[in-house]
Structure formats: C-alpha cells, structure tokens
C-alpha cells in the first residue's frame, strides 16, 4: 500500500507558488502527492515534474468540477468545456506519471436539484456520451479515470457505489473505473466495507481514505478495521490518500461546506493521519 496526501490540504488553488509542498510532503514521509487541478494554467508543469522526480514522490491527479465543467449539463458548450478539461487532465496525468485521474467527472459539484425522470435520463445520456469518449482518450494515454460518488449534499447524480457501478457498466470502457472517498461513503453507504467488496479489485482504482468529519483519519467514527479488512480481501494494493481541506477557497467552501478548521493545522492533520495509516495497514 502507498500513502499520499492531496494538495487541497494546504492550498486552493494549487499553483507554481505552492511548489514548496513537494519537499514538505516528502519530508513527512508520504509516498504520493495528489495534485488537485483547479486551474491548470497556474501551474508550471515541467518545473513541477522536475521537482517531483527529484523528490522521489509519485503523483496522482484529481479534478475540480465547477459548473462550467459539467459533462451532463443541458448546455452543449458547458459539456464541451467539461470534456476538454477532463481530456487535459488525462494528458497531464500521463505526463506526470499518474496512473489515474479521479473525481466527480460526471457532473458539477453542488448540482443538487429535484428534477423530473425525463431530465435525469437526458443528463445521464449526455454524461454517458461524454464518458464513452473519455474512455477512448484515457485508453490512448494509459490512464484510468476514477468515477467518484459524492454525498447527497454535493451532487444529485452519483451518490452510492451501486450508482457508480451502474454508470461505469453502461459506459463499458476498461479505463473508466471507480474511486471511493470514505467521507462520502460514510453518509451514503449502509456499510463501507460491503461497498468496497461490491466494487471489487477490478473496478476500484483509487481510495481517498478520509474521516467521517474530514478531520484527521482515526479520530472519527469510521469502521477503519472493517475498511482495511475489505481492501485486503479484494486485494487492493494501490494508493490510500488523505483528501481534505485546509486553506479553503470560497468555491471549495461552498462546494464541500467547510465552515470551520478541521484540525489544529494542516501539517498536524497530515502527520497524524499518515501515522494512523501506517499503523492500520502495517
């Protein structure tokens, strides 16, 4: 198992001025830096690639899906922009050596409405149409795209493992898989271990192992022992990543409803969270 932490814990958006995080994250003992791509143009990617290579860290790439990046939007220009963003992130993942690009790729975060069944079908149709294309692009670049279910307060489209399985089954691309965030699972699943078993090794490409309150892993009410047991049973041996939020931008605060500090400091959350991971998965 390899342990990582998202740049979201310290910076939003992550930019070239945030590159000191590479040395910090390596010094804390992590294996992986998860780079959240909010504004790709603010990052000097060749320089970042050099710094990461020198540090010995591995990379995973995650997305940020605002209203303008919604591949299920009823606006064709927004759908086109969402596909372009996902495509660019797949290319960045390939260039940076990340095996995955993950996030709520199917819609915009914060899109929560009561809509008709007809509208749901239309939006799902647009989503699948675009994800089929994404699957082809991901296959060309050797990247797995992780479809991440979010809780009901952040999306009305994919909340559960069952819904994610249904979506990726319909898309039917070997490169479209599922990424789980245990914070969301804690709200939506009857049992997180059972959800992990149901998804299985072949479909599960990434885990963001976050606490029930998005605070320090190990300090909340998650069934961590059960989660570890389920991951062991299916043979999961990929990344375990902390993704929570420290320096919160206005957009992230609204999308994730982060209104208070989640720990005494981002550094403390990272160090103590990594220690918990290592003790749990040892």
- Domains belonging to the chain, first-starting first, are 2-281 (3.20.20.150)
The pLDDT value given to residue 248: 62
Torsion (CA) 244, 246, 249, 254 in degrees, nearest 10: 50
Range 88-93 contact pairs with CB under 8 angstroms and sequence separation of 24 or more: 88/40, 89/37, 89/40, 89/61, 89/63, 90/134, 90/137, 90/138, 90/141, 90/143, 90/145, 91/141, 92/37, 92/40, 92/45, 92/61, 93/59, 93/60, 93/61, 93/141, 93/143
Alpha carbon distance 259, 173 (integer Å)? 38
Beta bridge partners of 181: 208
The pLDDT value given to residue 262: 83
179, 148 in Cβ contact below 8 A?
Answer: yes
Alpha carbon distance 25, 3 (integer Å)? 11
The pLDDT value given to residue 186: 98
227, 192 in Cβ contact below 8 A?
Answer: yes
Mean pLDDT, 10 residues at a time, the chain of 282 residues: 97 96 98 97 98 98 97 98 98 98 97 96 98 98 98 97 98 98 98 98 98 97 98 98 82 73 91 98 88
Alpha carbon distance 8, 247 (integer Å)? 8
The pLDDT value given to residue 261: 79
> pTM for this structure?
0.96
Which residue carries 């220009």 as its tokens?
77
Task: Give the 3-state secondary structure of residue 61.
Answer: strand
Which positions are catalytic?
A: 148, 243
DSSP state of 16: G
The pLDDT value given to residue 259: 76
Structure tokens belonging to residue 162 = 């069952």
The pLDDT value given to residue 249: 67
Tell me how far CA of residue 190 lies from CA of 23, 53, 171, 195, in angstroms: 39, 41, 26, 8
Burial class (CB in 10 A: 0-12, 13-18, 19+), 76: exposed
Tell me how far CA of residue 119 lies from CA of 66, 113, 149, in angstroms: 20, 11, 20
Alpha carbon distance 149, 208 (integer Å)? 12
Beta bridge partners of 207: 180, 240
Structure tokens belonging to residue 261 = 């500090």
The pLDDT value given to residue 219: 97
Residue spans of beta strands (DSSP E) within the chain: 2-6, 32-37, 58-63, 100-103, 144-147, 176-181, 204-208, 239-242
The pLDDT value given to residue 159: 98
The pLDDT value given to residue 263: 86
Alpha carbon distance 187, 185 (integer Å)? 5
274, 5 in Cβ contact below 8 A?
Answer: yes
The pLDDT value given to residue 41: 98
Alpha carbon distance 214, 208 (integer Å)? 11
């Amino acid at each position: 198992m390899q342990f990582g932490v998202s740049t979201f814990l310290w910076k939003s958006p992550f930019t070239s001025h945030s590159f000191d995080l590479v040395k910090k994250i390596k010094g804390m003992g992590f294996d992986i830096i998860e780079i959240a791509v909010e504004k790709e143009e603010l990052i000097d990617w060749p320089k970042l690639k050099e710094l990461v290579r020198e540090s010995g860290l591995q990379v995973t790439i995650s997305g940020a899906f605002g209203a303008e990046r919604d591949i299920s939007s009823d606006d064709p220009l927004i759908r086109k922009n969402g596909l372009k963003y996902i495509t660019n992130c797949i290319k960045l993942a390939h260039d940076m050596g990340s095996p995955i690009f993950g996030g709520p790729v199917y819609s915009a975060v914060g899109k929560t409405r009561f809509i008709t069944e007809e509208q749901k079908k239309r939006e799902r149709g647009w989503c699948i149409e675009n994800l089929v294309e994404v699957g082809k692009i991901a296959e060309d670049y050797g990247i797995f795209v992780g479809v991440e279910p979010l809780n009901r307060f952040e999306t009305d489209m994919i909340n559960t493992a069952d819904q994610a399985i249904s979506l990726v089954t319909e898309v039917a691309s070997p490169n479209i898989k599922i990424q789980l965030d245990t914070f969301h699972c804690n709200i939506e699943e009857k049992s997180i271990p059972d959800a992990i078993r149901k998804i299985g090794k072949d479909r599960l490409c990434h885990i963001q192992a976050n606490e029930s309150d998005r605070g320090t892993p190990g300090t909340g009410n998650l069934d961590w022992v059960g989660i570890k047991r389920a991951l062991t049973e299916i043979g999961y041996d990929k990344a375990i990543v902390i993704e929570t939020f420290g320096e919160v931008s206005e957009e992230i605060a609204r999308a994730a409803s982060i209104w208070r500090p989640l720990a005494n400091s981002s550094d403390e959350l990272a160090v103590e969270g990594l220690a918990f991971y290592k003790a749990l998965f040892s």
